[in-house]
Amino acid sequence: MKAIIAPSRLSGTIPAIASKSQAHRLLICAALADGPTSIACPTLSADITATAECLQALGAGITYAHGVFSVSPIASVPPCPALDCGESGSTLRFLLPVVCALGAKAQIKMHGRLPQRPLSPLWEELEHHGARLSRPQADIIAVEGRLTPGDYTLAANVSSQFISGLLFALPLLGRTSTIALTGHLESASYLIMTVRALGLFGVDCPLEGSSFTVPEARYVSPGQAAVEGDWSNAAFWVAADAICGHTLRITGLSPDSPQGDRAVSELAGHIAAGNAVIDCQDVPDLVPVLSVLAAVTPGETRFVNAGRLRIKESDRLSATAGLINALGGDARELPDGLAVTGKDRLSGGEVSSVNDHRIAMSAAVAALACSGPVILHGAQAVNKSYPGFWRDYAALGGEVTLEEEP
């Protein structure tokens, strides 16, 4: 799908969509619980749906109606379940250890760039504790065996999702296990989200120093739960608000949320002050849209400690720099980040989403600061996290025309 986005100015009130990060976690806990759970989740995305459908393949009963998931937990795993993760890295990394803990002989399907995204050292640690993993095809993981309890070790600076996946799985193993973390912990806020979700379902495993002690535990359903508003996707409206002169009001966000991306407003303020250095270690997903804001803010903004962005849905450092430069801006790749020099306005031009939802939405925000239209190829990439993005963009006054492409 192609989006033709004319220069415009957004204004009005926009409710935040549901946090897919929290939805993944609550759905997994509910599927492993001792009884049914209702989860209020007012909006869906391709990634949330992928997790729900994978849990259904493992034997959970999940329906969705009127903004609520009704989850009946897994009673028994069907023989040879097939799980399709779509392009969702969270779904894969959270559920791979769970599949191993359940002892399921399963196949996991991956799409897009997901087969190229790393699974080491989680893969090796699972195999060291009883799982048998193989890649019969580049886009399929075959799983056999059952995880055993014990002492696990993971590098903390690779992906917090690996650690979260083990935290979901280890309570199922029959006795206490530990997870020792080595190196600097990145994206710590997402681990806090996991620990809080587990706590809601009666599983207590706080981080103590550099390790988790994970007891044998029964997931106990709270009966009801609710997915909070998503700061990661609200970041696009925060940046748009700054570009348009503070004409937007975003509702449904908790200032006390454990989501690390709640820092977006503060970071946007640093950029506005000029010549900022943004440490992206805990907020890598904010880099594309904050780079767009930096491209139309005086001074140079440097984004550092963002090397992990090279292994996301796209190489987001390359894709972000390419987007800004194609629209008449000035962005330079660094080994682990970006240097963006601001201009008064961008010119517009033709760009690709490179099938990355955050690049697609960043292009829409950039169009607000362009003198000419932005033609975006691959506009459907927003469906991964925010299927209603183009509708909401238009409702706020954005001038966008969507056309099918061959």
- Distances, alpha carbon 336 to alpha carbons 76, 203, 279, 333, 387, in Å: 45, 37, 11, 8, 30
CA atoms of 383 and 108, how far apart (whole Å): 21
Backbone angles phi, psi at 302, to 5 degrees: -110, 130
Question: How crowded is residue 204: how many other Cβ atoms within 10 Å of its Cβ?
Answer: 12
Q: Could you write out the DSSP letters of every residue in 258-306?
A: S-GGGGHHHHHHHHHHSS-EEE-SS-GGGHHHHHHHHHTSSSEEEEES-
Question: How crowded is residue 81: how many other Cβ atoms within 10 Å of its Cβ?
Answer: 19
∠ CA 257-262-268, nearest 5°, is 165
Q: Could you write out the DSSP letters of every residue in 124-171?
A: HHHHHTTEEEEEEETTEEEEEE----SEEEEETTT-HHHHHHHHHHGG
CA atoms of 114 and 399, how far apart (whole Å): 33
- The reply to whether 285 belongs to the active site is yes
Amino acid at 36: P
Check 230, 285, 356, 392 and give the catalytic one: 285
**Residue (of 21, 113, 99, 2) closest to 57 by Cα position:** 99
Backbone angles phi, psi at 80, to 5 degrees: 50, 55
Q: Which residues are catalytic?
A: 285
